Structure 1
Amino acid sequence: MSSIRNDHEVARDLATEAGQQLLRLRARHGFEEPEVLRTLGDRTSHELLFSALGRLRPSDAVLSEEGADDRARLDTERVWIIDPLDGTREYSESGRTDWAVHVALWERGELTAGAVALPAQGSVLSTVDPPWLPEERPAEQRLRITSSRTRPPEFVQRMATQLGAEVVPMGSAGAKICAVLLGIADLYVHAGGQYEWDSAAPVAVARAAGLHASRTDGSELTYNREDPSLPDILVCRPELSSTLLASIRDVADRDSTGPHTAG
């Protein structure tokens, strides 16, 4: 891979390459030992991405879910934030396609490039050529909320009930945000625990495509912080953001005063 490629292309090409390697590993190893497959997938993809970024962008720092956190990144202007295998559970289950590879670049306070590979779906979404969003969604169409298939936050179901929405369970955070980008869902909302690598790349692509992306209280998503935890997120079409943030606040207020407090 040529070092003269721009950052958007580097993110796209590395996510694509890592995804193809993960597909080959999955096919070769099979699904009889899911824990072994998950471990191999995490390590193999991390090593590929970390090594390639070291060659292509040797002056940049890297924050990876699978690597040691080099605190020098806090004094660096450019940091690649990567999740070598987002959705490890789904990766190790035969037939599942909702897992991803995330590669993003944070530069001087902003996400400036990103790519999400969905290898089992044969798709890569990136800031090279962000997906085109339809100008409008049908007003009569029922809202579709994508949420965790294994750890769905309780407030999501209450929010869905309030909005008359359908909950679409899915694995990887990258796959969920890409579902919004591709029109499979209208919003992704999560609270209860994530890290910067879970959302950096899909948020970079979502913003480039014109989607709203914020914390669930409406505040800014910020990256390359000393503590990489980033526990909640809302990604949706921009015209829905005010309504959805109000719904989240209402559900949170009810939770704090009503019978669901203990849950």
Structure 2
Amino acid sequence: MTPRLAHELEVARDLAHRAGQAIMAHYQQDVTVEYKEKREPVTIADREADHLIRTGLQVAFPGDGLLSEEAEDDPARLDKERVWIVDPLDGTTEFIDKTGEFVVQIALTVAGRPVLGVVYQPVHNLVYYAVQGQGASAEQDGRRTELHVSQQRDPSQMCLIASRSHYTGFVDAARHRLGIDSVQRLGSVGLKMGQLSQGACDLYLATRVCKEWDLCAPHAILLEAGGVLTDLWGKVPVYNQPGPA
């Protein structure tokens, strides 16, 4: 019997890989950086990856809704049960700085809940992926590993992962309050939550408002790895909301 959402996963992985290759075609070149609202950077790599993914999803699943960071929002998605949520290049700042810490993120939601997620880091040919009820995996150069979050319960033994470019005093205050000494800093929400999903770190505190496309794909993976994602009040995100930015 074919696993649930097998075709959707195949399409999402293929599009993420192809988008990653399109991004890498610009990676070693000097790219022009433009700025959106709130001084968020965007490049030709973001836009090419976005076009490739959106076109592929619309051809493969014409009845589904779609929300992407780099495309105009279509409110018709709010009436759809199945909605794809895409960040074509999560970590644009890291792409510009050539740190390698950027990913392609593609997620599928059903009734606002993440049921499939793909996070692809093209620099290392590393993909994290999950489907609801089927576990989470990482695959690199043909080698697959099942993902499970850390079982560490002693804060003094935990590793906290934090943003490389958005590190604030709040993170230091929180980790000192919790008694956490070990801190790892990394670009891209997807990569940080990948570290959580594989048990390499124990806790991630986001110090800026994350948008749906930042969280959705890694959230699907984290859930299947046994993790939990909430805001500071314990509320779990529900996706495909009006005004997701």
Taking structure 1 as the reference length, the TM-score comes to 0.77
SS state at 2:205 partner? strand
Please show how residues 141-220 of structure 1 align to structure 2 within 5 Å: 142-165=157-180, 166-220=182-236
**Which of 18, 33, 36 is the matching residue for 1:35?**
33
Aligned residues between the structures: 222
Taking only the aligned residue pairs, the percentage that are identical comes to 34
**Inter-CA distance 66–135: structure 2 relative to 1 (3 Å threshold):** closer
Q: Which residue of 2 aligns with 1:236?
A: none
Q: Could you list the structure 1 runs, at least 4 aligned residues long, displaced by more than 3 angstroms after superposition.
A: 134-141
**Inter-CA distance 135–225: structure 2 relative to 1 (3 Å threshold):** closer
- The unaligned stretches of length 5 or more in structure 1 are 230-263
Q: Report the alpha carbon displacement of residue 119 of structure 1 after superposing the two structures with TM.
A: 1.2
Per-residue CA deviations over 1:235-257 (Å, capped at 9, x if unaligned) read: xxxxxxxxxxxxxxxxxxxxxxx
Per-residue CA deviations over 1:30-69 (Å, capped at 9, x if unaligned) read: 2x44627951111110010011011111111110000000
Q: Report the alpha carbon displacement of residue 134 of structure 1 after superposing the two structures with TM.
A: 6.3
Please show how residues 14-163 of structure 1 align to structure 2 within 5 Å: 14-27=15-28, 30=29, 32-33=30-31, 35=33, 38-94=42-98, 96-127=99-130, 130-131=136-137, 132-133=147-148, 136-137=151-152, 142-163=157-178
SS state at 1:190 partner? coil
Alignment of 1:8 with 2:9, yes or no, is yes
Select the structure of larger CA radius of gyration. 1
Q: Report the alpha carbon displacement of residue 26 of structure 1 after superposing the two structures with TM.
A: 1.5
Q: Report the alpha carbon displacement of residue 24 of structure 1 after superposing the two structures with TM.
A: 2.4
**Inter-CA distance 153–104: structure 2 relative to 1 (3 Å threshold):** same
Q: Which residue of 2 aligns with 1:246?
A: none
- The alignment yields a C-alpha RMSD, in angstroms, of 2.3
Distance 1:184 1:136 in 2: 11
**Inter-CA distance 135–65: structure 2 relative to 1 (3 Å threshold):** closer
Aligned 8 A contact 2:47 2:70 in 1? yes
Please show how residues 232-247 of structure 1 align to structure 2 within 5 Å: none
Distance 1:221 1:110 in 2: 8
Alignment of 1:224 with 2:219, yes or no, is no
Distance 2:204 2:124 in 1: 19
